[in-house]
Structure 1
Amino acid sequence: MRAARLLHMLLLLQNRGRMTTATLADALEVSRRTILRDVDAMTEAGLPVIVFHGPRGGIELGFDYRTRLTGLDADEAEAMGIILSATPPALTAIGRGDAADRARAKIWEAFPDQTRAAMDAARRRFPVRVAQAGTVPEREALARAVRERRIVRLDATGAARKVHPVALVMTPGGWLVRDGLSGDEIAEADWGDINISARRFDA
């Protein structure tokens, strides 16, 4: 348990840079005193952990230290193997199915051999079969508008509505676009004709 926590802390510091004891304690769900004990253990193990005191203090890794250590516990490896078994339909629906397949392959190869073997066993034991409906032009267009923060005009009934699409939400009942202007979530059935402006809105 402690070894897994130390690895998690190492990856947090590597990816986020300097963090306070309180932030690390919240992220790892332990006390601040436990974090300080773990810092001592990492230092004794030869890791370049630096503690800064004062209002802008915190804990960080020194000397641009990086590790490719990506080990997972057995249950985590099983879960990850299942997660990486198939591309979620939502990604295919917004035109990111191919990108998801490439990302899954890269993530899979990033793990050590022993972890990949456990993940592969999980994939064989719990195969995931997901129906892919293919891309839908309207969803793909709105997804692009969300990424690029472009103003969109929806015209379902002849009364055009201008929206600032800040999110595209997949729900059990269908897709919704969240309007940053009104805060409304507009169902796919009410999108109608979609016109994406060259103009952008502020995030």
Structure 2
Amino acid sequence: MRAGRLLSLLLLLQSRGRMTAQELADELEVSVRTVYRDVEALSAAGVPVYADRGPAGGYQLLDGYRTRLTGLTGAEAESLFFAGMPGPAAELGLGTVVAAAQLKVLAALPPELRSRAGRIRERFHLDAGGWFRQAEDMPFLAGIADAVWNPKRLRISYRRWGDEVVERTVGPLGLVLKAGLWYLVAESDGQPRTYRVARVEALQPTDEDFARPADFDLATFWADWSRKFEERMYPERVTVRVTALGLRTARVLLSLAASRALEDVEPRGEWTTVEIPTESLDHALVDLLRLGPEAEVVAPPELRERVKARLEATARLYRESDSS
């Protein structure tokens, strides 16, 4: 523990130059007295750290005492700090590890590259969470991440859609962060499956080693699974005539799947016939009514009749209101 703190103190002085004992204590979350003892320990070990007295004083290293990384270009040094997403890292229990790694990299960079990397942290912020969504409670995420990294089978209690809780013994293959939500990809019954981490209600690590298949590629699996998931979520197709304004509006107001289906469609005359994927006819009814007179349902006939009935009921409501 102390060895790690001494290294952090050394790297702080390398990356930031002169620092007061209080500044070091705040960074390391220790007392000023502990900083004094740690500085003495570094000096006794031959590290050329010295103190300047007075109000503007502090500790600093002898000029030239620095470990440098070699082979990093400016662009590479800058890109390192795009990888440090503090939110997801903290959720995985790696927040302090990421911070320490960045500190070590900063300490080893030459001054010019250190300045450029620092500007990345100041001017770019990565927020992986989705809009209008509270953070999910995931008490078992760190334990799952540990099993992914040190492959051990896990016993989980998992709440499926519909609130059915099932028991599974799985072999962890990887973790995926999608739109602020964590998913566990794991082998179960010989097949890779996907579990939303927030739905894991109990976790029991085992001592059983899990042999991760050598040919399994997490990114490839996730891309294929995501495409099939979207197809399952939007199994229905409706045919609609839209105006040019209706086409533009549909791309904004309808689902992402509908927007993708319409992105390459060009208006053809006054009306353009398009096919739109939807979760169900109930969803399509609500969505297409939002387009008003800029869209007309062609098929299926059931949806067309339901839209007509809803519009007639709305018109009747306004006529009765005006006459009263």
> TM-score interval w.r.t. the shorter chain?
0.5 to 0.7
Alpha-carbon distance in 1 for matches of 2:116, 2:198: 43
Alpha-carbon distance in 2 for matches of 1:151, 1:185: 15
Instruction: State the 1:161 CA deviation.
Output: 1.1
State the secondary structure of the residue aligned to 2:118: helix
Task: Read off the aligned partner of 1:147 and give its amino acid letter.
Answer: W
State the secondary structure of the residue aligned to 1:128: coil
Deviation per CA, 1:106-133, whole angstroms, max 9, x where unpaired?
0112211121123334444x15386997
Alignment of 1:167-182 (within 5 A): 167-172=174-179, 174-180=181-187, 181-182=190-191
- Which protein has greater RCO, CA pairs closer than 8 Å, 6+ apart? 1
Instruction: State the 1:160 CA deviation.
Output: 0.8
Q: TM-score, with normalisation over the residues of structure 2?
A: 0.36
State the secondary structure of the residue aligned to 1:192: strand
Q: Answer yes or no: is the 8 Å Cα contact 1:93–1:139 preserved in 2.
A: yes
Q: Answer yes or no: is the 8 Å Cα contact 2:154–2:169 preserved in 1.
A: yes
* 1:107–1:149 CA distance, 2 compared to 1 (3 A): same
State the secondary structure of the residue aligned to 2:203: strand
Q: Answer yes or no: is the 8 Å Cα contact 2:153–2:170 preserved in 1.
A: yes
Q: Answer yes or no: is the 8 Å Cα contact 2:138–2:198 preserved in 1.
A: no
Q: Answer yes or no: is the 8 Å Cα contact 1:166–1:179 preserved in 2.
A: yes
Which residue of structure 1 lines up, in the alignment, with residue 107 of structure 2?
A: 109
Given candidates 186, 196, 200, the residue that maps to 1:191 is 200
Which residue of structure 1 lines up, in the alignment, with residue 118 of structure 2?
A: 120
Q: Answer yes or no: is the 8 Å Cα contact 1:71–1:112 preserved in 2.
A: no
State the secondary structure of the residue aligned to 1:184: strand
Larger Rg: 2
State the secondary structure of the residue aligned to 1:159: strand
* 1:136–1:98 CA distance, 2 compared to 1 (3 A): farther
Instruction: State the 1:95 CA deviation.
Output: 0.4
Which residue of structure 2 lines up, in the alignment, with residue 146 of structure 1?
A: 148
Alignment of 1:41-52 (within 5 A): none
* 1:79–1:184 CA distance, 2 compared to 1 (3 A): same
Structure 1: tracts of 5 or more residues without a match: 1-66
Q: Answer yes or no: is the 8 Å Cα contact 2:156–2:200 preserved in 1.
A: yes
Q: Answer yes or no: is the 8 Å Cα contact 1:151–1:165 preserved in 2.
A: yes
Alpha-carbon distance in 2 for matches of 1:197, 1:159: 18
Task: Read off the aligned partner of 1:128 and give its amino acid letter.
Answer: H
Deviation per CA, 1:53-78, whole angstroms, max 9, x where unpaired?
xxxxxxxxxxxxxx9424424x5555
Moved over 6 A (4+): 131-135
Which residue of structure 2 lines up, in the alignment, with residue 72 of structure 1?
A: 73
Given candidates 70, 75, 95, the residue that maps to 2:93 is 95
Q: TM-score, with normalisation over the residues of structure 1?
A: 0.54
